[in-house]
Amino acid sequence: MKQNDLVIIGAGPTALTAAIYTTREDIDTVLIEKGAIGGLIATTDWVDNYPGFVEGISGLDMADRFQKQAERFGAVIELDEVLGIKPVDKLISVSTTSGERLAKAVLIATGSDYKKLGIPGEDTYYARGVHYCATCDGAFYRGKRLVVVGGGNSAVQEALFLTKFATHIDLLVRSTLKASDVLLHELERNDKITVHLGVATDQIIGDETRVTKVLGSDTKTNKLIEFDTDGVFVFIGLKPTAEFLRSTGIDFDSIGFIKTDENLRTSIKGVFAAGDVRSGATMQVASACGEGATAALRIREYLEGHSQQEK
């Protein structure tokens, strides 16, 4: 059975930053990722608030730089899916689709995923007109009309990005816009976007191959509103990617994020959590990287104590 000093579950900014720190100190580190290396940052069009990049940087380029730096110091990234973890003697057993491995410590850095509306038609037309990533799928809608759902920073930022392709965008906001002032000013200046405040998104309708319209309703009057569209992009927030750990004995908060102490330790000895999957995280790439660095330092301390116990 394979054994490592540290197994990191995930390969987003938190995980890759932690790996940069641990591998530089000769801690045998493997990252296990079931999706895209770089996490959600790899599907973000543009990152404009990460220190050191005066003109900003594309999310894909940032993810690529993180990966190359971690690998330069010796981090190993494996594409696999973790099914669960459990303590075994003084080690942690990590169960994956390709088998089991042991680790002296585990860092959960699985981040978060896109929330869904949970309305009729959303699952039916997923990838056939319903999308959650503008940079991944926006180019399919050149010269088309789109609906974007959401009122936060992500929704406004992605709607602005989609104007590169779409002829018009209807932005459906259930309550009020919660985006930053900078984005709101950009929104006001863009005549391709019509903002509809107080409009709930109730149903996505289409034919056998594609989406044709969205049914909404006024949240005050319940009046039905129809929006003809060629596609729908949903940006209503994020949820933690941690459901696969529910039966492990790890403590979660009321909305599904992993609880840790001030040293990023979970309720299982030797298992740490950091980044967007952790309860109390701020959901920013800069803070995610900071937590990755902190986790690496705390894990190093833990492994030093582990080594002393083995002697």
- Give the residue numbers annotated as catalytic, written as ranges: 133, 136-137
Q: 61: which residues sit within 8 A by CB, 6+ positions away? A: none
Sign of CA dihedral 15, 160, 210, 119: positive
CB atoms within 10 A of CB 279: 16
**What is the four-CA torsion angle of 36, 38, 43, 47, rounded to 10 degrees?**
180
| Pairwise CA distance, residues 142 & 122, whole Å | 22
- Both structure tokens of 271: 């298992």
| Pairwise CA distance, residues 286 & 204, whole Å | 35
Q: 168: which residues sit within 8 A by CB, 6+ positions away? A: 145, 146, 192, 193, 194
| Pairwise CA distance, residues 289 & 275, whole Å | 8
Output the CA–CA distances (angstroms, integers) from residue 10 to 97, 177, 301, in the order listed.
Answer: 15, 32, 21
